[in-house]
């Protein structure tokens, strides 16, 4: 079982074969993937870097958010897990892993594309954890559309509401509750700089996330609240199998990177932990690219 601690060749540390041509319904369950992803369930080792922290993680049921939630719990944080109601079964599996780490897990389904639900989620998190000092915004919507003629205003709007407006709503609602030392980590993408032809709406939201995060970082730093961004490259998650890519792209998914393979969510856990822990205390408004070697601005 590959882990993040053993000296090894990253080229073949994880699956290099590509992925099955599988198309599942949006939002896609981890339990439906023919090839399951690695979220560090069997490998992530905490060292107390987030001891006593109170974290809200969105998109925590699967993929990158699941890896972050597991890592945060093993580093000592209590975690509110946000996801869509149809992802309850995936979320319950993550909640069990958080409890196995000896931490509190709060299941908090909410649709972040709806302002009232996004704001209520923050209030729920504060009540359930008795405060909040880490916000990890991982939820995202990505739906591939080949032809601009077929990109609907409804999709364009839903992608922006889910990916960009939710950052504004959650952060605005949370700031009055966040003590100095708190951290906010958002999730951008290689798509922010290198947009794929079928991801016009999605790629644009990811550039917006980079910018809104850097702007918020300027405003919140004097309060002692740090905002940073993780920008993943291709990672194997339900997002990709549930419309994020055309299924016929999946056998080659990730092979365009210099490392020649897609990443596994477990390979992102350290980035999300680092940007929340006091180790990164002088790092503000930064985008940490974790993408198998693709050049970024």
The tokens for 208 are 């917006």
Q: Decide if residue 243 touches ligand NAD (CB under 6 A).
A: no
Which is catalytic among the residues 202, 272, 274, 282? Answer: 202
- Checking DSSP bridges between strand 54-57 and strand 226-232, what pairing results, if any? unpaired
Q: Which residue is nearest to Mg ion (CB)?
A: 62
**The Cα angle at residue 205 between residues 247 and 82, in degrees rounded to 5:** 80
Nearer to ligand NAD, 142 or 213 (CB): 142
- The least distance separating ligand NAD from the CB of residue 166, rounded to whole angstroms, comes to 7
Q: Indicate if 282 belongs to the active site.
A: no
Tabulate helix, strand, coil % of the chain (nearest 5).
45, 10, 45
Q: How far apart are CA 234 and CA 222, in angstroms?
A: 34
Residues 101-120 that bind ligand NAD (CB under 6 A): 111-113
Is the Cβ of residue 224 or residue 295 nearer to ligand NAD in the bound state? 295
Q: Comparing C-alpha atoms, which of 274, 267, 261 is closest to residue 67?
A: 267
Residues 95, 56, 63, 41, CA torsion sign: negative
Asked if residue 187 binds ligand NAD (CB under 6 A), the reply is: yes
Instruction: Find the part of the chain contacting ligand NAD (CB under 6 A) among 80-88, 95-103, 125-133, 175-183.
Output: 80-88
- Smallest separation (angstroms) from ligand NAD to the CB of 259: 14
Interaction between residue 14 and ligand NAD (CB under 6 A)? no
Q: How far apart are CA 34 and CA 27, in angstroms?
A: 16
Q: Which residues are catalytic?
A: 202
Which residues contact ligand NAD (rule: CB under 6 A)? 27-28, 58-59, 61-65, 83-84, 87, 111-113, 138-142, 162, 187, 189, 232, 234-235, 237-240
């Amino acid at each position: 079982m590959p882990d993040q601690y053993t000296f090894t060749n990253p080229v073949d540390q994880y699956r290099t074969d590509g992925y099955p041509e599988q198309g599942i319904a949006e939002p896609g369950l981890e339990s439906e993937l023919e090839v399951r992803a690695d979220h560090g369930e069997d490998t992530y080792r905490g060292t107390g870097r987030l001891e006593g922290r109170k974290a809200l993680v969105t998109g925590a049921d699967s993929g990158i958010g699941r890896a972050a939630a597991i890592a945060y719990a093993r580093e000592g944080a209590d975690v509110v897990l946000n996801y869509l109601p149809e992802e309850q079964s995936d979320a319950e599996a993550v909640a069990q892993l958080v409890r196995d780490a000896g931490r509190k897990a709060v299941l908090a389904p909410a649709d972040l594309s709806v302002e009232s639900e996004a704001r209520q989620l923050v209030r729920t998190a504060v009540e359930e954890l008795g405060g909040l000092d880490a916000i990890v915004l991982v939820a995202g919507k990505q739906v591939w559309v080949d032809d601009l003629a077929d990109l609907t205003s409804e999709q364009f709007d839903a992608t922006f509401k889910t990916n960009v407006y939710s950052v504004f709503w959650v952060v605005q609602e949370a700031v009055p509750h966040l003590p100095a030392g708190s951290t906010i980590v958002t999730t951008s993408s290689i798509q922010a700089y290198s947009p794929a032809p079928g991801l016009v709406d999605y790629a644009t939201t990811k550039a917006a996330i980079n910018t809104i995060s850097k702007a918020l970082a300027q405003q919140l730093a004097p309060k002692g609240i740090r905002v940073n961004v993780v920008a993943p490259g291709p990672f194997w998650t339900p997002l990709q199998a549930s419309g994020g890519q055309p299924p016929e792209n999946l056998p080659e998914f990730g092979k365009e990177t210099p490392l020649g393979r897609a990443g596994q969510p477990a390979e992102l856990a350290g980035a999300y932990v680092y940007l929340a822990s006091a180790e990164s205390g002088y790092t503000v408004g930064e985008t940490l690219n974790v993408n198998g070697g693709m050049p970024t601005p």
